[in-house]
């Protein structure tokens, strides 16, 4: 067995072991794989039957490809790659063509939201579950840095999980470089989105500039940040239990038109950290699940709660007020 072939088999074993240990995919499921045509997703498509066979899962997978129609022949190339790979694998493919309808600022976040919306609509119509994405360990590291810079909350470090709600991430334990090496060893064709190679979006800047700079200090920075996310998630369960108990002590019955209310005297009796967490939960009331609240919003609520007399207001995300 050549060295390259041995490394490929070892990579397959690591991915299968990760899927089994984290309960990422379960017997008899009908996963819907979100396939862009890039190296990560095409690697995942190649690995899925290997995972299925080795773990005896009996999966019945289907695929979704969203064609945003913004990159001309490159968009066509990616769609054709996906079509050919799915035909070869005998998988049902759903293609959603958006014909360039999604443009403007914050494109990546809006595209992500639309992609997941389309996937969940298909899941409801055809009974697919879970949604399977090709997020890898380096994506995890990027998200940790992005949230740390933007939100400055330790809870923000607890980012993606291998299996959470309706999303499964079989490649979350694998690095981008080893995924590309596996694609090369196995002759897996994929497309590259040129927009990912320029630091025009925040996540691109982190991937192209910040992480390489940090790698000069720690060559395994991606693994370190991913480990930090895992530790934060585990410790977050302890914090969540303490927060639930504090919330029961301080919450009040909302008045008409209010989303939530707290008893200020009870809130003042809580330790500062729990007080801030209660205010953060209050600020998140009415927002989509998983939405993060900025430190400035929490600080504004703390100032409001500390007022001893008179009234005041604090502007919150989503056009809400406290």
Average pLDDT over residues 183-193: 93
pLDDT digits (tens, 9 = 90+) for 22-80: 999 999 999 999 999 999 999 999 999 999 999 999 999 999 999 877 777 888 889 99
Which tops the pLDDT comparison, 313 or 101? 101
Structural domains of the chain ordered from first start: 3-139+160-196 (3.40.50.620), 253-321 (no CATH)
Write down the pLDDT at residue 71: 72
Task: For residue 30, give the nearest of 116, 130, 167 by alpha carbon.
Answer: 130
User: Whole-number mean pLDDT of the chain?
Assistant: 87
Write down the pLDDT at residue 155: 67
Global pTM reads 0.80
Write down the pLDDT at residue 312: 45
Residue that the structure tokens 């998988």 belong to:
91
Write down the pLDDT at residue 198: 77
Task: Indicate whether 237 pLDDT > 90.
Answer: no
Task: Indicate whether 101 pLDDT > 90.
Answer: no
Residues in CB range of 153: below 8 A, 6 or more apart: 147, 280, 292, 295
Query: What is the length of the chain?
Result: 322
How many CA within 13 A on the CB side of residue 128?
24
Task: Indicate whether 253 pLDDT > 80.
Answer: yes
Reported as a pLDDT band with limits 50, 70 and 90, residue 309 is: very low
Write down the pLDDT at residue 257: 78
pLDDT digits (tens, 9 = 90+) for 274-286: 999 999 899 888 7
Tokens of 249: 């002590």
How many CA within 13 A on the CB side of residue 35?
31
Average pLDDT over residues 298-312: 72
pLDDT digits (tens, 9 = 90+) for 113-170: 889 999 999 999 999 999 999 999 999 999 999 888 876 666 667 778 999 989 999 9
Residues in CB range of 321: below 8 A, 6 or more apart: 313, 314, 315
Task: For residue 16, give the nearest of 57, 62, 63 by alpha carbon.
Answer: 57
Task: For residue 157, give the nearest of 18, 292, 302 by alpha carbon.
Answer: 292
Residue 310 gets the label, from left (phi > 0), alpha (psi -120 to 50) or beta, of left
């Amino acid at each position: 067995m050549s060295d390259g072939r041995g490394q490929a088999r070892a990579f397959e074993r690591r991915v299968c072991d990760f899927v089994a240990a984290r309960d990422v995919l379960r017997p008899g499921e009908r996963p819907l794989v979100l396939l862009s045509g890039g190296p990560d997703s095409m690697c995942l498509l190649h690995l899925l039957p290997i995972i299925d066979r080795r773990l005896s899962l009996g999966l019945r997978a289907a695929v979704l490809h969203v064609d945003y129609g913004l990159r001309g022949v490159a968009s066509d190339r990616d769609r054709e790659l996906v079509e050919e790979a799915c035909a070869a694998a005998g998988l049902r493919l759903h293609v959603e063509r958006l014909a360039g309808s999604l443009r403007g600022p914050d494109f990546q976040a809006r595209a992500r939201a639309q992609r997941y919306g389309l996937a969940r609509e298909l899941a409801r119509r055809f009974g697919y579950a879970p949604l399977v994405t090709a997020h890898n360990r380096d994506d995890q590291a990027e998200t940790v840095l992005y949230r740390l810079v933007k939100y400055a909350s330790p809870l923000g470090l607890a980012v993606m999980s291998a299996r959470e709600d309706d999303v499964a991430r079989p490649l979350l334990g694998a690095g981008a470089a080893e995924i590309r090496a596996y694609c090369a060893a196995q002759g897996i064709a994929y497309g590259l989105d040129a927009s990912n190679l320029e630091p025009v979006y925040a996540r691109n800047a982190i991937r192209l500039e910040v992480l390489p700079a940090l790698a000069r200090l720690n060559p395994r920075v991606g693994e370190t940040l991913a480990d930090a996310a895992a530790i934060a998630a585990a410790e977050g369960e302890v914090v969540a239990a303490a927060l639930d108990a504090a919330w029961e002590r301080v919450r009040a019955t909302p008045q008409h038109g209010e989303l939530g209310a707290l008893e200020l005297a009870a809130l003042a009796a809580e330790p500062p950290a729990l007080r801030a967490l209660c205010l953060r939960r209050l600020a998140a009331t009415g927002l989509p699940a998983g939405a993060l609240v900025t430190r400035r919003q929490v600080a504004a609520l703390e100032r409001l709660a500390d007022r001893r007399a008179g009234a005041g207001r604090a502007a919150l995300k989503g056009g809400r007020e406290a």
